[in-house]
Amino acid sequence: MKKITVSLGLILTLSFGTTFNDGYEAFEKGDYQSALSIYEYLAAKNDSKALYNLGDIYSHGYGVKQDYKKALKYFEKSAEQGLAEAQYNMGFFNYEGKIVQQDYKKAIEWYKKSASQGFGLAKYNLGNMYANGYGVKQDYKIAIEWLEKAANQNILEAQHNLGVMYRDEIGVKQDYKKAIEYFQKAANQDFAESQYNLGVMYANGYGVKQDYKIAKELYKKACDGGIQIACYHYRLLN
């Protein structure tokens, strides 16, 4: 890794009042070296956000050589201090098996810590893990509870997955109206998969009055969003 040289003047500046926002502003301007120096200074004082941002810098290779091991080290220190975003990332590392050995149970532990602080993506991932039985006994009831919590925080993937579960009777009684409700929430925010699924429901009259015009509009939006099968259905209705 390239050694970072810090001038005496900058050290004095860091010592007297440097804030997290200074690092953030430097980062946003593309001055990654200054941001790195500021975050390292604050991280030495156990600033959880600075530790997290150092993890992010090394994870993506902003101004430094990408280094997942260093990223993990910083994320873990931040997570241990209770930062929800860092706890989520630790869950992700353990779920994916990046740098550390894949461990679904540890992933769930970290996701639960993050979710307990209200972090929506952690709730979404917990829902998926319970739905699939990763690291826990498969439990659709618990899965839906977590997904509903995530959906209420506007996590589009959670809204979509709930739509699928109510449509396909996965762990719940089939309910097309609820499926449409969840698909609609995500579709309204340009989630292409939900737009396509909603189009299918309008085309077939599942839970709604059959309406090819609305179906066609939804297929077009989903097609524009990259869903190829939606393009096929859109052409069929032309």
Would you say residue 115 has pLDDT above 70? yes
User: Model confidence over 12-67: pLDDT tens digits?
Assistant: 333 335 788 898 899 999 999 999 999 999 999 999 999 999 999 999 999 999 99
Domain ranges of the chain: 1-81, 84-153, 179-238
CA 95 to chain centre: 13
User: Model confidence over 171-180: pLDDT tens digits?
Assistant: 999 999 999 9
The three-class DSSP label of residue 60 is helix
Query: In sequence order, what E strands does 16-149 have?
Result: none
Would you say residue 2 has pLDDT above 50? no
Q: Do domains 1-81 and 84-153 have the same CATH topology?
A: yes
* % pLDDT > 90, the chain: 89
Fold type of domain 1-81:
1.25.40
Would you say residue 124 has pLDDT above 70? yes
**Cβ atoms of 118 and 84 closer than 8 Å:** yes
Structure confidence at residue 5 as a pLDDT band (50, 70, 90): very low
pLDDT for the residue numbered 17: 52
The residue among 145, 194, 148 whose CA lies nearest residue 167 is 194
Distance between CA atoms of 44 and 38, rounded to whole angstroms? 10
Residue 117 has a CB neighbour count (10 Å cut-off) of 13
pLDDT for the residue numbered 61: 95
Helix ranges (DSSP H) in 135-227: 140-152, 156-168, 176-187, 192-204, 212-224
Distance between CA atoms of 40 and 19, rounded to whole angstroms? 12
Distance between CA atoms of 230 and 216, rounded to whole angstroms? 9
Place of tokens 């430097």: 26
The H or E element that residue 40 is part of is helix 32-43
One of 1.25.40.10, 3.60.40.10, 3.40.140.10, 3.40.1160.10 is the CATH number of 84-153, namely 1.25.40.10
Distance between CA atoms of 201 and 232, rounded to whole angstroms? 16
Global pTM value: 0.87
pLDDT for the residue numbered 10: 31
Place of tokens 């991932």: 125
